[in-house]
Amino acid sequence: MSSFFDLKARKAAAANGTLSTSGEKQKEENPRVQPWVEKYRPKTLSDVTAQDHTTAVLQRTLQASNLPHMLFYGPPGTGKTSTILALAKELYGPEMLRSRVLELNASDERGISIVREKVKDFARMQLTNPPGGGYRARYPCPPFKIIILDEADSMTQDAQSALRRTMETYSKITRFCLICNYVTRIIDPLASRCSKFRFKSLDTGNARRRLEDIAALEDVVLAEGAVDALIRCSEGDLRKAITYLQSAARLVGATAAAAGDADEMEVDGEGEGITVKIVEDIAGVIPDATMQKLVKAIHPPKSGNAYEAVAAAVKEMVADGWSATKTMTQLYHIVVYDEMIPDIKKNRIVTVFSEMDKRLVDGANEHLSMLDLSLRISEILAGR
């Protein structure tokens, strides 16, 4: 009998809304230990920010209780994993989630053998019945299971081709959701079996709203322009922005009051708030002064050669530990938006950038690459 009551209590809790319950539960357990990225992961589809098109389609499936195979792709931090998890939660509710959803990601072994065994076993498992009572009324519990293959672009080709037939054979009782950053790494036969959803980078308005919401919930004070700085530094990656926000909040909170309750700490830090400088510090943005020094060195002097100046500037930057990728990105923005440089030269400069990017990704020496990049730009600017 006791379990019956327990169920009822849980249902009552569910009726109050999933969002608040799970949020509170986690808060009781460990108020500060959880990364905010996890804490503020959208709990329902309507919470998912900025992917209106995708969520609208998925909302409809909630009512229709039918779902195609899905392929989510887009840059990191745009809410791909969040969306499917939220959808699964809304479809099945907390009790059915475990028996109806299988989540595999790159941290699990996902070779061809796993696809053949684990995925296949799960795919052909018969459906369990949803618990009776009002559960069906609260959650649709459609008659299929979902297999989420997160980070599918890191699956081998063989493993992907092993999925092909599995997807079709068990399509009556199983739906697949593949999530990846690069749709090109998914083999064509798989991609053609799925309806594709592109997740675009978050636009400023939505990202700002979300960040401000979180800041308000966590009692973090944001100084003027801090949100803009967060958005600028994270380049449309909301997860990055939230991580930065949390780190910044930690810094501000912890320096203000070393001891005390978690909540008090944040309130104490109110005097300072998160400033643009703190955000840029955390994001590793290279200060304008340093960049200007490099740019000035690159612009060729009237007489003589730029080598000495460029070499000195680059050497200093490397020793200071500024990451070459970040330097390249910032230099790129400066050069491309510089109206003093004629278009034809910009074309050639951009080619150099692309080559250097490839080299850095291949693991070439940062110092040499940066020096080469700067010198070549300098030469192009000098008109040689």
Partner 1 sequence: MALIVDKHRPRSLDDLTFHDELSKRLRSLAQSGDFPHILVYGPSGAGKKTRVVATLKELFGPGVEKIKIDSRVFQTSSNRKLEFNIVASLYHLEITPSDVGNYDRVVIQDLLKEVAQTQQVDAAAKQKFKVVVINEAEHLTRDAQAALRRTMEKYSPNLRLILLANSTANIIAPIQSRTLLIRVGAPTQQEICTVLANSAKKEGWPVLDGLNKRIAEASDRNLRRAQMMLETIHATNEKVTDGTAIPIPDWEVLVNQIAQEMVQDRSVACILKIRAKFYDLLSHCIPASDVLRSLAFALIPHVDDIMKSTVIKWAAEFDHRIKLGSKAIFHLEGFVARFMKVYEEYLEGMAEF
Interacting residue ranges for partner 1, rule: CB under 8 A: 30, 32-35, 37-38, 75-77, 105-109, 111, 113, 150-151, 154, 181, 234, 237, 239-240, 243, 246-247, 250-251, 253-255, 258, 265, 282-284, 304-305, 307, 311, 318-326, 359-369, 371-372, 375-376, 378-379
- Nearest to partner 1 of 59, 153 (CB atom): 153
**Tokens 């969002």 — which residue?**
19
- Nearest distance from C-beta of residue 187 to partner 1, angstroms: 17
Angle at 200 between CA 98 and CA 188, to 5 degrees: 70
Closer Cβ to partner 1, 26 or 59, answer by number: 26
**Smallest distance, Å, CB 130 to partner 1?**
26
> CB of 239: closest distance to partner 1 in angstroms?
5
d(CA 155, CA 180): 10
Tell me the Cα Rg of the chain.
Answer: 26
Q: Which pair of tokens denotes residue 17?
A: 């809304």
> What's at 315, amino acid-wise?
K
Collapse the DSSP code of 209 into the 3-class scheme (helix H, G, I; strand E, B; otherwise coil) and give the result: helix
Cβ nearer to partner 1, comparing 175 with 376: 376
Tally of residues, the chain:
384
48 vs 278, beta carbon nearer partner 1: 278
List Cα–Cα distances, 117 to 10, 282, 283, in angstroms.
35, 44, 43
For residue 198, the cross-strand partners are 73
- Residue 209, token pair as written in the block: 């709203």
- What's the min distance (Å) between Cβ of 292 and partner 1? 18
What is the closest distance, in whole angstroms, from the C-beta atom of residue 45 to partner 1 in the complex?
A: 20
Report which residue type is found at 13. A
Residue number, 14 or 349, with CB nearest to partner 1:
349
Question: DSSP string of 332-369?
Answer: HHHHHT-TTS-HHHHHHHHHHHHHHHHHHHTT--HHHH
Q: What are phi and psi of 149, to 5 degrees?
A: -110, 95
Q: Of 139 and 353, which has the nearer Cβ to partner 1?
A: 353
Cβ contact 203:50 at 8 Å: yes
Residue (14 or 276) nearer to partner 1, CB? 276
Are 294 and 314 in contact by the 8 Å Cβ rule? The answer is yes
In the complex, least distance from residue 224 CB atom to partner 1, rounded to whole angstroms: 23
Residue appearing with tokens 């009556």? 172
Q: Which is nearer to partner 1, 141 or 227 (CB)?
A: 227
Question: What minimum distance in Å lies between the beta carbon of 283 and partner 1?
Answer: 7
Residue type, 343: D
User: Nearest distance from residue 10's CB to partner 1, in Å?
Assistant: 23
Smallest distance from partner 1 to CB 364, Å = 4
Our CB check for partner 1 shows the closer of 219 and 372 to be 372
Helix 238-256 to helix 204-217 angle (10° resolution) is 30
DSSP H or E run through 38:
helix 36-39
If the CB atoms of residues 6 and 270 are measured against partner 1, the closer one turns out to be 270
Sequence-separated (6 or more) residues with CB below 8 Å from residue 240: 76, 77, 233, 234
Strands 101-104 and 195-198: unpaired
Angle at 377 between CA 346 and CA 363, to 5 degrees: 110
